[in-house]
């Protein structure tokens, strides 16, 4: 194939696609809205699974680089009730098959493995026009344009490419997550360090959850999870972090103080994230010259799979393009035939896991799920 593949979005999915294409000797250009690689901290830790994320990294030829960034011991997990009573404790014995890494580190090893001019930073796509015969014209916020014969929307939940293929829009999934960070926990928050342990901690009750993750360098990253109506956040003034944290903590009245401290003692301003989803089983008719991957294709509630899946999509799409030289349509047909069922299964699992975390069966439903009872 002589065509350069045009990718919108330098998230983990778009970068994995670009890297695996590069491994196959196929050129790609990635247009990314953010002004630079370091413009934003990249969020917390991700567990990278053998069957998707690690597979994608192997196809990218980056297994050694991945192993070098693993947070050793960080894959432990435990489930508690609201009184901090331990219901399940799974230590990281080094053999979980899902080691933890920082998202920023993962993005860096992908970026470092691409030719220098692959990613064009500060290129926010504002408009895309179909020119016929599978060709598209892209217009960016800086007024520049580009043309492409093979376009991939790796631009996340609110994809600008998706409307070329489908009318689906993300809708609210019924939960809000409020994100907090505590630093230097062993010294400054020893009770929190103790209750969270070495890895992931899920303290759950119907309608509420606190999930926290111990990251490298004494950082604990927390999501307070609440099943509330979409407008519930409107009554909270996030410009006043202290008041906002107190308001969120009030939803956890009666919970163990070492759990609510994960909210009230937050060292950074809280960030609210509404959880959105595309319809489970989202798909589209084959449309010449364009496809989607990752959240753009199958956005679902966070369940520890989305980034892994985006990377596998990227690797699979690159392999399909390499396997069909000169025939982009055959490549996209083969890729989508596997993408649709994979995305549908993952989305249905993700909705189930969200329900296990904040639905009526919490916390025991998640314990049963993790121990293989249900």
Ligand X SMILES: Cc1cc2nc3c(=O)[nH]c(=O)nc-3n(C[C@H](O)[C@H](O)[C@H](O)COP(=O)(O)OP(=O)(O)OC[C@H]3O[C@@H](n4cnc5c(N)ncnc54)[C@H](O)[C@@H]3O)c2cc1C
Nearer to ligand X, 191 or 219 (CB): 219
Kindly state the smallest distance separating residue 357's Cβ from ligand X, in Å. 12
Q: Is 184 annotated as a binding residue?
A: no
3-state helix/strand/coil string of 196-253: HCCCEEEEEECCEEEEEEEEHHHEEEEEEEECCCHHHHHHCCCCCHHHHHHHHHHCCC
How far apart, in Å, are the Cα atoms of 109 and each of 18, 115, 315? 13, 12, 15
79 strand-pairing partners: 88, 202
Burial of 167 (0-12, 13-18, 19+ CB in 10 A): exposed
What is the binding site for ligand X (CB under 6 A)? 8-14, 31-34, 46, 124-125, 154-156, 160, 177, 223, 273, 294-296, 302, 304-308, 310
Kindly state the smallest distance separating residue 149's Cβ from ligand X, in Å. 19
Q: Is 40 annotated as a binding residue?
A: yes
3-class secondary structure, 100: strand
Kindly state the smallest distance separating residue 278's Cβ from ligand X, in Å. 11
Nearer to ligand X, 266 or 294 (CB): 294
Nearer to ligand X, 81 or 295 (CB): 295
Kindly state the smallest distance separating residue 33's Cβ from ligand X, in Å. 4
Nearest by Cα to 104 from 55, 155, 45: 45
How far apart, in Å, are the Cα atoms of 278 and each of 318, 335, 348, 355? 24, 20, 11, 16
Nearer to ligand X, 121 or 364 (CB): 121
How far apart, in Å, are the Cα atoms of 219 and each of 126, 132, 184? 37, 51, 6
The CA distance from 148 to 4, in Å, is 8
**Which residues are within 8 A (CB) of 292 and not within 5 positions of it... i.e. 6 or more apart?**
152, 153, 154, 159, 161, 162, 165
| Cβ–Cβ < 8 Å for 180, 222 | yes
Kindly state the smallest distance separating residue 163's Cβ from ligand X, in Å. 12
Kindly state the smallest distance separating residue 8's Cβ from ligand X, in Å. 5
86 strand-pairing partners: 80
Nearest by Cα to 14 from 24, 6, 2: 6
Kindly state the smallest distance separating residue 327's Cβ from ligand X, in Å. 25
Kindly state the smallest distance separating residue 17's Cβ from ligand X, in Å. 9
The CA distance from 192 to 84, in Å, is 11
Nearer to ligand X, 45 or 260 (CB): 45
Nearer to ligand X, 256 or 320 (CB): 320
DSSP 322-354: HHSTT-HHHHHHHHHHHHHHHHHHHHHHHHHHH
Nearer to ligand X, 168 or 330 (CB): 168
Nearer to ligand X, 301 or 359 (CB): 301
Q: Is 120 annotated as a binding residue?
A: no
Q: Is 214 annotated as a binding residue?
A: no
Which residues sit in the known binding site? 40, 47, 103, 295
Which residues sit in the known binding site for NADPH? 40
Which residues sit in the known binding site for FAD? 47, 103, 295
């Amino acid at each position: 194939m002589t065509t350069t593949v045009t990718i919108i979005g330098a998230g983990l999915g778009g970068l994995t696609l670009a890297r695996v294409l590069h491994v196959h000797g196929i050129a790609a250009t990635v247009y990314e809205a953010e002004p630079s690689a370091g413009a934003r901290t990249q969020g917390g830790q991700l567990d990278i699974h053998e069957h998707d994320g690690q597979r994608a990294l192997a196809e990218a030829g980056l297994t050694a680089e991945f192993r070098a960034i693993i947070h050793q011991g960080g894959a432990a997990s435990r489930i508690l009730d609201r009184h901090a009573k331990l219901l399940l404790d799974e230590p990281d014995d080094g053999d979980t098959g899902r080691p933890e890494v920082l998202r920023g580190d993962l993005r860096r090893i992908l970026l470092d493995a691409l030719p220098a001019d692959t990613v064009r930073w500060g290129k926010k796509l504002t408009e895309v026009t179909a020119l016929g015969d599978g060709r598209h014209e892209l217009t960016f916020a800086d007024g520049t344009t580009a043309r492409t014969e093979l376009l991939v929307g790796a631009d996340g939940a609110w994809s600008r490419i998706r409307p070329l293929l489908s009318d689906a829009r993300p809708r609210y999934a019924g939960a809000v997550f409020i994100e907090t960070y505590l630093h230097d926990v062993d010294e400054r928050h020893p009770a929190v360090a103790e209750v969270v342990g070495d890895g992931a901690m899920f303290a759950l009750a119907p309608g509420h959850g606190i999930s926290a993750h111990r990251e490298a360098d004494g950082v604990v990253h927390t999501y307070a999870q609440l099943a509330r109506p979409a407008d519930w956040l409107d009554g909270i003034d996030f410009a006043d972090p202290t008041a906002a944290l107190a308001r969120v903590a009030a939803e956890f009245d009666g919970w163990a103080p070492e759990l609510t401290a994960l909210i009230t003692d937050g060292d950074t301003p809280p960030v609210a994230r509404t959880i959105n989803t595309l319809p489970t089983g989202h798909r589209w008719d084959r449309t010449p010259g364009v496809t989607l991957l990752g959240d753009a294709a199958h956005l679902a509630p966070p369940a520890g799979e989305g980034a892994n899946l985006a990377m596998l999509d990227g690797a699979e799409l690159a392999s399909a393009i390499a396997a069909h030289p000169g025939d982009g349509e055959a490549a996209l047909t083969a890729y989508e035939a596997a993408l649709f069922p994979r995305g549908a299964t993952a989305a249905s699992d993700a909705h189930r896991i969200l329900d296990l975390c904040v639905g009526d069966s919490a916390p025991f439903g998640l314990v049963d799920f993790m121990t293989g009872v249900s």
